Structure 1
Amino acid sequence: MRNIKLIIEYDGTNYFGWQKQPHQKTIQEAIEYSIKKITKEDVGIFGSGRTDRGVHARGQVANFFTEAKIPGEKFKDAINSVLPSDIVISHSEEVDCSFHSRYSAQGKEYRYVIYNRRIPSPLLRNYAYHVPQKLHFDLMQKASADFIGTHDFTAFMASGSSVKDTTRTIYSIHLNKNHEIIELKINGNGFLYNMVRIIAGTLVDIGIGKIDSSYISEILLSKDRKNAGHTAPPHGLYLEKVFY
């Protein structure tokens, strides 16, 4: 058996997230179906992690095992020829059989996009979180630095997760503003369920004055989800890179 690694870009607007589920249109199912059309095999692909309904990706990573003789680097062209236009394999290669897209991962980078203008944009409605209130960018930027380092992120985890270890390390976090667009980039060794969206929502709440910019450390220490801000919507979130 050969192990093929894929790097995947997708627009998550029309999908119920990454993970295959009954009677729903998902990214995983679309790719598995396309691989079957090429290889005539029933393959299961392993993703680096789930993305929720409406979340996008520029650098999702997956792998699958196959007996097909197609050269590793040619799989991307073959699969792309039958994939829907809102999913693209940007890279493919054959890797060692020990590689697993999820368990071999050392970290991830996410991007969250905020559109800060009173009037919404129909062009960005599926790709950025529209916040009509004026955001104080300097307060958001100041507060964001307090996330860097190793912390227990229980306060920034949505309910429904079964993980036992809620400690994660954030290596870097950057907020950039270009006219009405604010982008959050966050790089860490792992992320809890909805962690990036809750961080983004908390920074928005700081920007509108709902939460004091000096409270991030206290929220982290409290380990209480009720003390953090709201969960920002999924359509502003992008999985940018997975690190191995």
Structure 2
Amino acid sequence: MRVAIGVEYAGNAFEGWQTQPHRRTVQDVLEAALATIAGESVKLVCAGRTDTGVHATAQVAHFDTSADRPLEAWVRGVNSHAPASVGVLWAVVVDDDFHARFSAMSRRYRYVLLNRRVRPGVLDGRVGWAHGLLNVAAMNEAAQCLLGVHDFTSFRAAQCQAKSPVRHMHSVSVKRFGEVIVFDFHANAFLHHMIRNLVGSLVYVGKGRYPVTWMAELLAARQRSLAAPTFAPDGLYLCGVEYPERWPLPDGGRIIAPPQLLVT
């Protein structure tokens, strides 16, 4: 039997999603909790492997098991054995040809940036921070060149293992809500560190270090060294995965809308 689950977690409590020998990752703690309920070892496959410090409000994963348990056992039962910083939101039985990663049509990420003079206290580890006043209009205008199908080599980490740097950006926006700036990205898939590299370069535009046209120049250059340094992971959230309607996931297996994180 194959089961799909929706998961949320605070990434600053873990060293990324993917399993590591030290067992301090989201995958490790969830597999341990699932194994307790299943009475057998369980292997999770997720829609998008997040890095150390990156959060998720709507991660999707699947696992195979021979254990016959009520769906609520995969939710409340697993949560009772998992750390407080991670939780299963829902569970559904899916066909064996469902794959959390390869069946996904697109992903949504949100970066939440606190833009004020002093660093965050209560929100430490949950938001990015930039102390100088940023020009959001310029940042949003610069980001529009990312729409469509492009080679994102200039925003790809050197250790990225993706076979191709080409991605389809469906939508992108940069908006201000008081002291909070929200970056929303929706694409078929993302490269390693792609969003954090995009945010870093957009912040440079917002600071006035480069003109709006710089983002298009970076995109065309296909050279990572020309773009800004990788921005902090603190404010990055995986907040939606889109699947074909045939899968019986919440919301019809379509889009799990990004929550209004820290926005009033």
TM-score (norm 2): 0.89
| 1:24 CA drift (Å) | 4.2
Alignment match, 1:124? 123
Alignment partner, residue 165 of structure 1: 164
The aligned counterpart of 2:173 is: 174
**What does residue range 1-244 of structure 1 map to in structure 2 within 5 Å?**
2-244=1-243
Deviations along 1:18-55, one digit per CA (max 9) or x if unpaired, are 00101141000000000111111011111112111110
> Which amino acid letter does the alignment assign opposite residue 232 of structure 1?
F
**Secondary structure of residue in 2 paired with 1:216:** helix
Is the deviation greater in 105-114 or in 118-127? 118-127
* 1:71 CA drift (Å): 2.6
Task: List structure 1 runs of 4+ shifted beyond 4 angstroms.
Answer: none
Q: 1: distance between equivalents of 2:161 and 2:180?
A: 35
CA distance in 2, matches of 1:231, 1:112: 13
User: Residue 184 of structure 2 aligns to a residue in which SS?
Assistant: strand
- Kept in 2, the 8 Å contact 1:11–1:87? The answer is yes
Deviation at 1:81, TM superposition (A): 1.7
1:109-139 Cα shifts (integer Å, max 9, x gaps): 0000110001112012111111011111111
Task: Specify the SS of the correspondent of 1:235.
Answer: coil
Note the alpha carbon deviations across 1:79-116, whole angstroms, 9 max, x for none. Answer: 11211111110111000011111111111000001100
Three-state SS of the structure 1 residue aligned to 2:234 is helix
In 2, Cα distance between equivalents of 1:24 and 1:203: 35
Aligned residues: 243
Deviation of 1:200 (Å): 0.7
Query: In 1, distance between residues paired with 2:20 and 2:98?
Result: 25
**1-side partners of 2:95 and 2:149: how far apart?**
31
- The 8 Å contact of residues 71 and 92 in structure 2, kept in 1 or not, is answered as yes
Contact 2:47-2:100 at 8 Å conserved across structures = yes
Residues 142 and 216, structure 2, Cα contact 8 Å, conserved in 1: no
Q: CA deviation at 1:210?
A: 1.8
Q: Percent identity at matched positions? A: 35
Looking at structure 2, the residues matched to 163 and 242 of structure 1 have their Cα atoms a distance apart, in angstroms, of: 19
CA contact (8 A) 2:105 2:188 kept: yes
Q: CA RMSD in A?
A: 1.1
**Contact map agreement 1:73 1:93 (CA 8 A) in 2:** no
